[in-house]
Structure 1
Amino acid sequence: MKVIVAGMSKTGTKSMKAALTKLGYSVYDFPDHRFLLSEEYHRIAKIGWTTEDFRRMYENVDATVDIPALYFWDEIHKAFPDAKIILTTRDEDEWASSLERQCLKDSQILSARLWEFLSPTWVKCYKNLELLEFLSLGIAPPSRFRRKTVLNKQLAKQIYRRHNAYVMHSAPKDKLLVFKCADGWGPLCEFLGKPVPDEPFPLKNKNAELLDCEIIDYPMFRYMNLEIMISAILLASSAVLAGVVAYRYRYVCD
């Protein structure tokens, strides 16, 4: 582990992933935490953790961004004390409004709702992390009977404020960069000791299209969509079979 992005979701974490990838780092983003490390984070949420847990989880990756890893930035840094820490920030009210728009957009995506009913992988990998998502962002996840994801905006702002203050107070000053994506390549590359790429700094997820993009790009989301189709076919087949059996039973009785 070389770089820990401790900034909250919606502070440019997707842009940071793209930028770090361009600079040659292997990066774990939120799908990787959720799918590749789901059992570890489930245990962490329910039982607790040790420094060795995080060392084992992230020993083969260069950088980490987004939830739930950002919630444990200091524990990860204890496991990798030479890693540099980047705190991505933006205006608090702007951040809360952006997070609210993301929650609304995510709630409107049909695939995301179908996963809850028809994808065993979603149940295993995502549901385990809802507690950590609430602690990290103040988001109350949707239930199977409540479509809309609810953001407690006041709680989210408090969490955002406390998190940033804690990072700036506790992170070693010689290893910390407070960064806005609008700052561009210059300060980031200087901090990391990397040459500046000959292209604009990437700006991702500007219109809350995050989950749409992840569904297309990330293999596990494609796998969950395949599970939806298989589950739907099995349910439809079962319904047809039940109908045939019921019809024949009625016919015999008559």
Structure 2
Amino acid sequence: MLRVIGAGLPRTGTMTLKSALETLLGAPCHHMAEVFRNLETDPPAFLAAARGAPTDWDAVLAGYAAAVDWPSSAFHAELAERFPDAVVVLSRRKDFDTWWTSCNDTIFTGMDGGDFATETWAAMIAAIWDRTFEGAPRTDRDAVEAAYHRYHERVRETIPPHRLVEFTTGAGWEPLCDALGLPVPAEPFPHLNTTREWHERTGDVPPGGVPGPSKES
């Protein structure tokens, strides 16, 4: 049963949130990284959900205490209804420009390609994108920015304030611990999947070289 539902977009510190929530909850957190390990089951399940099929969320997310990042964050409203006691975390970068730059430096370079990109995978990504950004072309910065702001407003309109935690990248343990009623761990808050780490892991070096380590996921 989910205790935390992530509504934040990719590249808003979701890998860091995954690690932090696994520490706090002592159980796995779903993330796009999990989809790569479950390519036979996750993409078809989330694609069907994006197309409006009835979805057994208990089965899709069995064994997880939290879910952040795409594809699950695109279904935060459905998940919030199914798990009414769960906290909803809206992770955010400081502004659209920071988020846009991070995405273009990382996930936008290979979201549709690679050995993993089956027809079902590509269809899932397209469906999740359209669901989140209302069909805005990925190359149209202005259209994406407008849809980006509307998305955040939809989250705020859908999730009651007492359940919603707006979590800006770098906020640390306190907002999560306060919402969950848990003590702050003694260990430092994690900091994972920076732009540099993403490129080092994928071997995809962008024009101009790999950015410095200060850009967070």
Question: Which category of TM-score, normalised to the shorter sequence, fits these structures?
Answer: 0.7 to 0.9
1:45 pairs with 2:50:
yes
The structural deviation recorded for 1:165 is: 0.7
**Structure 2 counterpart of 1:31, from 28, 33, 37:** 33
**Structure 2 counterpart of 1:206, from 191, 194, 212:** 194
| Aligned-partner Cα distance in 1 for 2:114–2:149 | 34
| Aligned-partner Cα distance in 1 for 2:82–2:200 | 34
**Structure 1 counterpart of 2:105, from 101, 105, 108:** 101
Q: Identity of paired residues, percent?
A: 28
User: Kindly tell me: are residues 84 and 190 of structure 1, through their superposed partners in 2, closer, same or farther at Cα, counting changes over 3 Å?
Assistant: same
User: 1:129 aligns to what?
Assistant: 124
User: 1:221 aligns to what?
Assistant: none
User: 1:82 aligns to what?
Assistant: 85
Measured on the aligned residues, the alpha-carbon RMSD in Å equals 2.7
Q: Is the 8 A contact 1:45 1:131 kept in 2?
A: no
Unaligned ranges ≥5, structure 1: 116-120, 141-149, 216-254
User: Kindly tell me: are residues 28 and 213 of structure 1, through their superposed partners in 2, closer, same or farther at Cα, counting changes over 3 Å?
Assistant: farther
Q: Is the 8 A contact 1:17 1:29 kept in 2?
A: yes
| Aligned-partner Cα distance in 1 for 2:113–2:84 | 40
User: Kindly tell me: are residues 78 and 95 of structure 1, through their superposed partners in 2, closer, same or farther at Cα, counting changes over 3 Å?
Assistant: same
Q: SS at 1:210's partner residue? A: helix
Compute the TM-score of the two structures, normalised by the length of structure 2.
Answer: 0.77
User: Kindly tell me: are residues 5 and 114 of structure 1, through their superposed partners in 2, closer, same or farther at Cα, counting changes over 3 Å?
Assistant: closer
Deviations 1:151-191 (A, max 9, x none): 43223212221111111122022111111132211122111
Q: SS at 1:87's partner residue? A: strand
User: 1:69 aligns to what?
Assistant: 72
Q: Is the 8 A contact 2:74 2:128 kept in 1?
A: no
User: 2:209 aligns to what?
Assistant: none
1:87-166 equivalences in 2 (<5 Å): 87-90=90-93, 91-103=95-107, 105-106=109-110, 113=113, 115=115, 122-123=117-118, 125-135=120-130, 136=132, 151-166=139-154
The structural deviation recorded for 1:208 is: 5.2
